[in-house]
Amino acid sequence: MAHYTAPLRDITFARDELLNYPQHYQALGYEEASPDLVQSVLEEGAKFAQEILAPLNRVGDKEGCTWSAGGVVTTPTGFKEAYVQYVEGGWPGLASAPEFGGQGLPGSLSLSLGEMVGQANHAWGMYPGLSNGAKRTIEAHGSDAQKHAYLPQLTSGVWTGTMCLTEPHCGTDLGLLRTKAEPQADGSYRLNGTKIFISAGEHDLAENIVHIVLARLPDAPAGTKGISLFIVPKFLPTADGKVGARNGVVCGSIEHKMGIHGNATCVLNFDGATGYLIGAENKGLNCMFTFMNAARIGTAMQGLNSAENAFQGAIRYARDRLQMRSLSGPKAPDKAADPIIVHPDVRRMLLTTKAFAEGGRAFMYFCAQQMDIAADSKDPAARDHAEQLLALLTPIAKGFLTETGVESAIHGMQVYGGHGFIAEWGMEQNLRDARISTLYEGTTGIQALDLLGRKVLASQGKALAVFTKIVHQFCQAEADNAALQEFVVPLREINQEWGGLTLKIGTVAMQNPEEVGAASVDYLMYSGYVVLAYFWAAAAKLASAQLAAGTTEEGFYRAKVQTARFYFQRILPRTRSHLVCMESGAANLLDMHADDFLIGA
């Protein structure tokens, strides 16, 4: 981005007005998270993102990371100094347990910080972002000794973390992985193998890197049932928590990528590296889901960030760029031409990015709220309900928000016309950086199979009902609200259709399982549009009430209602094409013989 401004007003709208975070924090016993403290944290986080990270965004893109002999990776100019400031500010431990040096604030507040950091500098934000997943994994599954050995340093940010899954011959299909872990007499393990596409796998920001690694024991069963999870530090920790001997894990190379140049995407070679088992033998994939689910939420946020960056860049340009006259007559007669923001097609692109960014923000902060409840509520029923919601919504958030983030990045670039293709404006970088989000942590197709197959159909629709019930209750409550009928009526109808569509897919899938794969991506996108429709209807309700009461921010709330109207009238109808595609069945995808694809090539 040529310029970045943290969207504090809309963050506050989503958190405090739409989702009532102050009451949420009070109910969970977050006594320290007072409104004043939260606002102070957000404002300081915004300042760090705007003043320190945003100026380094293009620097990181132009310079990239460099690899040198011995596996040494150097990050772009200014990255290390920014990380030092990040650590000195106490940001890595914002939501970590006080027992390990953290501040004990809610995880959702850390997610707000992550939003601003990621918008200001996508590549830089991935270094501390992955550490959060490593911390959660060790907290959830590590022994007491492992927690005390690693969590204080990860919490302070002096050490960072990674997740090491993918290998050259296997991506999503982790049952094929070959990295071996040999038991040693002292209870440790020796790991041998190669991992690829490891984000932040090697760098010069922190004194140690803690790798969370999937590997196989010698007698492990085949497939995913034979995977174990290990902590493999770059440097072995000493008894007093310092950096000790160099471990046998080395960066063999870094990838030359389409985007996120400032983040080192590494090939890591494990050559007799010392590792420590986390959790039970052959249960590593179950443990790793703690990290993977956190990473999926983080990647969903990257999709939102791409939309926000597209909107910020495009709206500034559209207000200033003069091009042609309005079809209904000059809107700026004192100028040589009208600003392009007056043209309907430019409005279409701007409103699309605004709808995805702000609707996606409400969606993400709802998910963050459920994460708080699942982690810290004292009510078992509330925790269970939150976990059920997250199980359903996580693949939707990851798949839908990243796809719409890429679409938004394209719109942001298009608003600039030819200038969007030029590096100095930041729009082409936003698009290049955005593209990875639909691929890593499970492609859109993998998220779709997880949603439709593992979550919705496997539960016979019960997983879906957890959310559709919330939508149904909202529609019931607003059934007599005349001001909201343009939103409530279509929302109620599509919410009912969602359930019926699911039943229809499940019925045909019993005859042919391939129908699940054929429908899955359309089902995920359809689901995402419905989820965002709910949040836009809720936003319209709140904004309408504020306007009726006579707010001093009339423009802000009026824009909410108008964007909701645009979403319902021009974006939500996309579900019709997804519906037709799903109902067309699997035959049009599978009937062609594989060899016939080559005819004419």
Which residues are known to be catalytic?
441
Nearest-angstrom CA–CA distance, 209 and 158: 9
Distances (CA, A) of 483 to 39, 473, 541, 548: 32, 18, 8, 10
Nearest-angstrom CA–CA distance, 300 and 76: 25
Helix axes 514-549, 485-511, angle to 10 degrees: 170
The two tokens of residue 294 are: 């956190």
Q: What is the DSSP letter of 212?
A: E
8 Å CB contact between 142 and 150? yes
**Residue 229 backbone dihedrals phi, psi, to 5 degrees:** -120, 140
Helices (H) and strands (E) in the chain, counts: 19, 11
SS3 478: coil
Nearest-angstrom CA–CA distance, 1 and 310: 9
Q: Where do the H-state alpha helices sit in 210-325?
A: 284-320
Nearest-angstrom CA–CA distance, 149 and 54: 34
Nearest-angstrom CA–CA distance, 351 and 318: 12
Which long-range contacts (C-beta less than 8 Å, at least 24 apart) are formed by 51-55? 52/82, 52/85, 53/82, 53/117, 53/120, 53/121, 53/124, 53/125, 54/1, 54/3, 54/4, 54/120, 54/121
The two tokens of residue 27 are: 């109910």
SS3 481: coil
Q: Is 95 left (phi over 0), alpha (psi -120 to 50) or beta?
A: alpha
Per the DSSP assignment, residues forming a β-bridge with 230 are: 213, 277
8 Å CB contact between 431 and 410? yes
Q: Classify burial at 362, counting beta carbons within 10 Å of its beta carbon; exposed 0-12, middle 13-18, buried 19 or more.
A: buried
**Residue 370 backbone dihedrals phi, psi, to 5 degrees:** -65, -35
* 94 C-beta neighbours (distance < 10 Å), count: 22
* 104 C-beta neighbours (distance < 10 Å), count: 15
The two tokens of residue 360 are: 């996606």
8 Å CB contact between 386 and 371? yes
8 Å CB contact between 578 and 571? no
Compute the CA torsion angle 215, 217, 218, 222 (nearest 10 deg). -70
8 Å CB contact between 293 and 307? no
Per the DSSP assignment, residues forming a β-bridge with 322 are: 339
Per the DSSP assignment, residues forming a β-bridge with 163 are: 212
CA nearest to 114, candidates 206, 53, 198, 45: 45
